[in-house]
Amino acid sequence: MSSQLYRYQTKSIDGFLSQLVRYIANGGHYFYIRVKVPIGKDPQAAAEKLLDRYKIRKSRWQRKRRHLKETASIHLLLHRDVIVVILTKGRHEQFYLDHQSQVRDIRRTALKVFGYSVRYGFSEIERRRKVFIRLDAKAYRKLKVHMLSICAWDAYREKSEMERQFRNLRYQPYEPVFEQLLAIVKAVNRARRRRGFDAVDYRCLNNKRRLGPVFVDDEIVTAA
């Protein structure tokens, strides 16, 4: 089957996350492995090898037959040098033979990728299960330290200069991410007040998700 019939290489991190959410929330794909392609290796060649080995290229009709046979539905995503293979509950002998000790359940162990932490859990507020995406601990600490280190510099005395730093952040404002960024703004403002600087307006934070093509060969705008 032609590789053109199965799209897996995403155009951006935003597209990667968007498609990942679809597989988890809409398809029940909870079991995953994350593969970091070594430097010097071709990520697309590595992805193609996995596609062939686990027979991932399937039409919708073939996937339906798999489901009826209680065989796991399996998908693959590639962005830059990171590959994620994600499955539903079910049988897939070759995959589990190769990766039994590496497989994680996204309901229990968050997938950490591109500075984000992705988990599927229960929302007490919404009273339903959903995908949670936040900055992972390392990315959050790094960003907070950076913002706190520059927020009281004379070069950023004007609040507009500091607001520009927040406005230029490229993180998608998923609700947990927005809450993390808001916490950093509050910490920054405490530091600025100690220096006698004006507080940053939290409205400098982007609260609208960017929409764009998911896969490298997409030409239309798709929503996350």
- pTM greater than 0.85 (yes/no): yes
Is pLDDT at 206 greater than 70 in this prediction? yes
Is pLDDT at 141 greater than 50 in this prediction? yes
- Residue 1: predicted pLDDT: 39
- Residue 2: predicted pLDDT: 43
Q: What mean pLDDT value characterizes the chain?
A: 91
Is pLDDT at 147 greater than 90 in this prediction? yes
- Residue 210: predicted pLDDT: 85
- Residue 221: predicted pLDDT: 43
pLDDT average, residue stretch 101-127: 97
Is pLDDT at 179 greater than 50 in this prediction? yes
Is pLDDT at 51 greater than 60 in this prediction? yes
Instruction: Give the C-alpha separation, 105 to 86, whole Å.
Output: 10
Residues 192-201: contacts with CB within 8 Å, 24+ apart? 192/151, 192/152, 192/159, 192/162, 194/152, 195/152, 197/151, 197/152, 197/156, 197/157, 197/159, 198/158, 198/159, 199/159, 200/151, 200/159, 200/162, 200/163, 200/166, 201/159, 201/163
Is pLDDT at 197 greater than 90 in this prediction? yes
Rg (CA), the chain: 21
Is pLDDT at 76 greater than 50 in this prediction? yes
- Residue 68: predicted pLDDT: 46
